[in-house]
Amino acid sequence: MNDQSVYIKSKEEILEIAKKYNLPQDEVEEFLEPNRIVELKIPVEIDGNTVIFKGFRSQHSNKLGPYKGGLRFHQNVTKDEVMALSLWMSLKTAVVGVPLGGGKGGVSVDPKALNEKQLENLSREYARRVFDVIGFDKDVPAPDVNTNPKIIDWMVNEYIKIAKEKKLGFDENKLYASFTGKAKNGLAGRKEATGFGGVTVLKELAKKLKLDPTKTTVAVMGFGNVGYFFADLASKAGFKVVSVSDSKGGIIKKDEKGNFIPLDIPLVFECKNEKGSLNGCYCAGGVCDTHGGELITNEDLLALPVDILVPAALEDVINENNMQNVKAKIIIEMANGPVTPSAYHHLSDKGVTIVPDILANSGGVAGSFIEWEQNMENKTYKLKNVLERLEKMMQAAFEAVWQESVNQKTNLKEASYLVALNKILK
* Parallel/antiparallel/unpaired status of strands 353-355 and 330-332: parallel
Q: Cα angle at 119 between 70 and 113, to 5 degrees?
A: 105
Q: SS3 of 139, please?
A: strand
Structural element, H or E, at residue 60: strand 49-61
Separation of alpha carbons 345 and 388, rounded Å:
35
Active site residue 191: no
Separation of alpha carbons 325 and 77, rounded Å:
30
Separation of alpha carbons 81 and 72, rounded Å:
11
Separation of alpha carbons 22 and 326, rounded Å:
33
Q: With CA atoms as reference, report the closest residue to 403 among 123, 219, 208, 189.
A: 208
Residue 315 amino acid letter: E
Separation of alpha carbons 191 and 364, rounded Å:
8
The maximal CA–CA distance of the chain, rounded, in angstroms, is 71
DSSP letters for 10-28: HHHHHHHHHHHTT--HHHH
| Contact (CB, 8 A) for 297 and 206 | no
Distances (CA, A) of 320 to 85, 245, 316, 343, 345: 22, 21, 9, 6, 10
Alpha carbon 385 to its chain centroid, in Å, reads 22
Catalytic entry in 104, 182, 240, 253: 104
Q: How many CA atoms lie within 13 A of 371 on its CB side?
A: 29
Structural element, H or E, at residue 364: helix 363-376
Separation of alpha carbons 14 and 18, rounded Å:
6
Separation of alpha carbons 130 and 51, rounded Å:
18
Active site (catalytic) residues? 104
